[in-house]
Amino acid sequence: MNATPLPGIEDEHGFTPRPEYKKKSIRSFVIRAGRMTPAQRSAFERQWAQYGLSLFSGPLDADAAFGRSAPLVLEVGFGMGDSLLAMAKAEPDKNFIGIEVHPPGVGRLLNNAADAGITNLRVYMADANDVLSDCIAEESLARFQLYFPDPWHKKKHQKRRIVQPAFAQMVRTKLTPGGVFHLATDWEHYADHMMEVMSNAEGFSNQAGEYLFAERPDYRPITKFEKRGERLGHGVWDLLFEKHA
């Protein structure tokens, strides 16, 4: 029923998953070698037909992909996928799309979603910038989630940070009026950069008040590394920016 091709190549190990992306000079990620467990690898062959979406399939018909119409939540860079899975479980009335380039994380999420019998989740293993520009319809997202994006601390790498004025405007076109862009980070400098970019982004209001960080909303689960950070006295900053109606 779903003809989405498997993203990857056949090599001496059998099938090796590879993220989809278009060539560009600056990327917000490096493809990490990251070892895959046999279960993560085989998840693609077993679960991709149910959960996978391809960048190269072009504009997404979300209602057709999910077999129903429901508010759509999109998360960029879900890592190992545990918090996205918890949210999809906790909000069965919403449809969730995750985008991630790290194959072991995608494999893990595919397996865990299948084990939990989740039906309101679909996944791209691709560069989010490409998926946003080629696949996601304008004014289609109720919420856009970006949690703990790579901070790129070195000054010379900061152009790789995904949060930039042009990215904010891309997110704005994809949100429904009143839709929310939710960002979180545990790097104070990146938090300040996010606040600067978002406070100056046309068409958004800060739900917490001008230049204020937000309380973590209940729907965002605390991750393991965030718990550890809290014990060590590290901060976490949430930002909630609503698109003007």
Ligand X SMILES: C[S@@+](CC[C@H](N)C(=O)[O-])C[C@H]1O[C@@H](n2cnc3c(N)ncnc32)[C@H](O)[C@@H]1O
**Residue 101 binds ligand X (CB under 6 A):** yes
Residue range at the interface with ligand X (CB under 6 A); choices 47-55, 60-68, 86-94, 97-105: 97-105
**Residue 127 binds ligand X (CB under 6 A):** yes
Q: What count of other Cβ atoms lies within 10 Å of the Cβ of residue 25?
A: 5
How many residues of this chain bind ligand X (CB under 6 A)? 20
**Residue 107 binds ligand X (CB under 6 A):** no
Q: By C-beta, is 101 or 175 nearer to ligand X?
A: 101
Q: By C-beta, is 151 or 179 nearer to ligand X?
A: 151
- The one-character DSSP state at 120 is S
Residue 45 assigned as binding residue: no
Q: What count of other Cβ atoms lies within 10 Å of the Cβ of residue 127?
A: 21
Question: d(Cα 174, Cα 177) in Å, to the nearest integer?
Answer: 9
As to burial, measured by CB atoms within 10 angstroms (0-12 exposed, 13-18 middle, 19+ buried), residue 202 is: exposed
Residues recognised as catalytic: 150
Quote the longest CA-to-CA distance of the chain: 55
When binding is defined by CB under 6 A, the residue of 20, 100, 237, 238 that contacts ligand X is 100
**Residue 54 binds ligand X (CB under 6 A):** no
Torsion of CA 160, 149, 128, 124, to 10 degrees: 140
**Residue 236 binds ligand X (CB under 6 A):** no
- Binding site, by residue number, is 75, 100, 127, 150, 154, 186, 223-226
